[in-house]
Amino acid sequence: MSRTLDTFPERTGWRGAVASLKIEDRHSRILSGSMVMLIGIAIVSAFNFGYNVAMARMLGPAEFGHASAAVTLLMLVSAITLAFQLVCAKFVARNESPGARASLVQSLLQRAWIVGLAMAALMALGSGGVSRYLRLPASSIVLVLCLGIAFYVPLGVKRGAMQGECAFPRLAGNFILEVVVKFGSALLLVGLGFGVMGAVAALTASVALAYFLPPSGHRFFGHREKCIPASFREGMQAMIFFIGQVIINNIDILLVKHFFAPEAAGMYAAVALVGRVLYFACWSVVSAMFPVSAGTRAEEHNASLLVVPLLLVVLLSVGFILLVTFVPGLIVHVVFGSGYHEAEPLLSLYAAATGLYSLSVVLMAYEMSRRIANTGWLQLFFSGAIVAGIELFHSTLRDVIVVQIVLMVVLLIAVSLPFFRYRTAPLTEAQ
């Protein structure tokens, strides 16, 4: 009997019972991992809110827009960071011995440092042009960010190693450490009068410290053994996937910063900040699902490994959209103050766009955990379509969000099609 996405080979007797227990254990690992990451992301989101709210109140809409643009630049670089994290997590999960895992992590870490330093150098060389395009007050803002970029790429390998081992408490703790340092440093530096530069310096310091803590010790730097290496094809798959993901999640902020006045750009940054809370909550579910699915053998796999995280993301999205629909004024007033009231009618629209995209991410990440997938290229196409759409339709901030909603509906339909095809064709793992 061929194995499809929604069928599972029949087993009888004690072997069937053991196999069923293994599957249930994997379900519990997804659920428990999701809960740990959800709690971690909730803490991270709270501190991120604290950071952004403090910066919005202390800097005002115009300067807050500058700070948000700097954060978004770092988020664009996170495409490379997340690619290293995904590949590292996938192959740490597939290598069972500590020595093999050590070999894999050390190899990826060397490549990540080369890439991180190269990207930081390129950003430094182009700092003048970047600052002019984004209407930043000084190119030194970009230069300070470059140091954070150098650390940010290898940080992805460290986080991927923790994710691949399903060490979700350590992984969540690393994210929390980063955001706590960012929040505290920003309050101190901006309070001392350093303005936008202080906010960006705090961002850079938090990334650098997160790379060193918690220390890995001999965990991945001990005896090395022959390992299942990270393949070039899967590395490229992850790179394409995260380039598209990061563009979709962040390019709208940079385009709004370019097309609109600083005050309007700051208003949109506040709306995007609220929407990102939903996305990061959904991503925590994907983070828990990915290593479990990647490490599950073909004969032990069944559709519930996709259905469970998909349902969790649906529940999170619907709940969040209802919240920002019924009490937008309360959220904006409490979080940002009276100066951001124009953001209220945009919250539910942005949340809808985020929820639609989060569902697509679950499907794409699941497929990537099992095989070499082509959906990353499809997502990259849609990221370009968002840029083109906003370039054409940006009369108002509402137009910018509507463009994203329309394209995210089409993307969700497109990435769903392979799963209908799998109902009649065997699902194969990546070789």
Which range of 26-35, 226-235, 246-255, 281-290 scores highest in mean pLDDT? It is: 246-255
Determine contact, residues 92/227, Cβ cutoff 8 Å: no
Q: What is the pLDDT confidence band of residue 45, given thresholds at 50, 70 and 90?
A: confident
The whole-number pLDDT of residue 234 equals 67
The whole-number pLDDT of residue 426 equals 47
Within 8 A by CB and 6+ apart from 153, the residues are: 77, 80, 81, 84, 112, 113, 115, 116, 119
Nearest by Cα to 69 from 242, 206, 269? 269
The whole-number pLDDT of residue 30 equals 59
In eight-state DSSP terms, residue 10 is -
Q: Please give the torsion angle defined by the CA atoms of residues 110, 372, 85 and 145, in that order, rounded to the nearest 10 degrees.
A: 80
Range in 32-41, 209-218, 248-257 with the lowest mean pLDDT:
32-41
Within 8 A by CB and 6+ apart from 199, the residues are: 55, 59, 67, 70, 186, 189, 190
Q: Which one has a higher pLDDT value, 287 or 285? A: 285
Nearest by Cα to 66 from 194, 248, 208, 180? 194
Computed over every residue of the chain, the mean pLDDT equals: 80
The whole-number pLDDT of residue 429 equals 42
Element (H, E) at 47: helix 13-94
Q: Assess if residue 343 is contained within a domain.
A: yes
The single-letter code of the amino acid at 189 is L
d(CA 69, CA 170) in angstroms, rounded, equals: 30
Per-residue CA distances from 255 to 102, 148, 150, 398, 429 (Å): 42, 23, 25, 14, 39
Report CA 361 to chain centroid distance, whole Å.
10
Q: Assess if residue 426 is contained within a domain.
A: no
Q: What is the pLDDT confidence band of residue 14, given thresholds at 50, 70 and 90?
A: very low
The whole-number pLDDT of residue 274 equals 83
Summarize the confidence of residues 168-177 as an average pLDDT.
Answer: 88
Helices (H), 165-194: 168-191
Domain span holding position 377: 14-421
Is the pLDDT confidence value at 411 over 90? Answer: yes
Is the pLDDT confidence value at 290 over 80? Answer: no
Q: Assess if residue 182 is contained within a domain.
A: yes
Q: Assess if residue 90 is contained within a domain.
A: yes
Over residues 329-339, the pLDDT tens digits come to: 888 877 776 67
Nearest by Cα to 87 from 34, 14, 19, 164? 164
Summarize the confidence of residues 249-263 as an average pLDDT.
Answer: 87
Nearest by Cα to 55 from 269, 257, 255? 269
Cα-based angle 284, 287, 288 (whole degrees, multiple of 5): 95
Over residues 93-103, the pLDDT tens digits come to: 777 777 777 88
Instruction: Give backbone dihedrals phi and psi of 379, rounded to 5 degrees, phi first.
Output: -60, -40
DSSP secondary structure, 314-352, as one string: HHHHHHHHHHHHH-HHHHHHHHH-GGGGGGGGGHHHHHH
Report CA 341 to chain centroid distance, whole Å.
28
Q: Assess if residue 6 is contained within a domain.
A: no
Q: Assess if residue 199 is contained within a domain.
A: yes
Q: What is the pLDDT confidence band of residue 2, given thresholds at 50, 70 and 90?
A: very low
Is the pLDDT confidence value at 182 over 90? Answer: yes
Cα-based angle 31, 33, 39 (whole degrees, multiple of 5): 100
Q: What is the pLDDT confidence band of residue 61, given thresholds at 50, 70 and 90?
A: confident
d(CA 350, CA 400) in angstroms, rounded, equals: 10
Residue % of the chain over a pLDDT of 70: 79
Q: Which one has a higher pLDDT value, 263 or 141? A: 141
Could you give the number of structural domains in the chain? 1
Q: Assess if residue 427 is contained within a domain.
A: no
Nearest by Cα to 158 from 178, 144, 180? 178
Which pTM value belongs to this model?
A: 0.67
Q: Assess if residue 4 is contained within a domain.
A: no
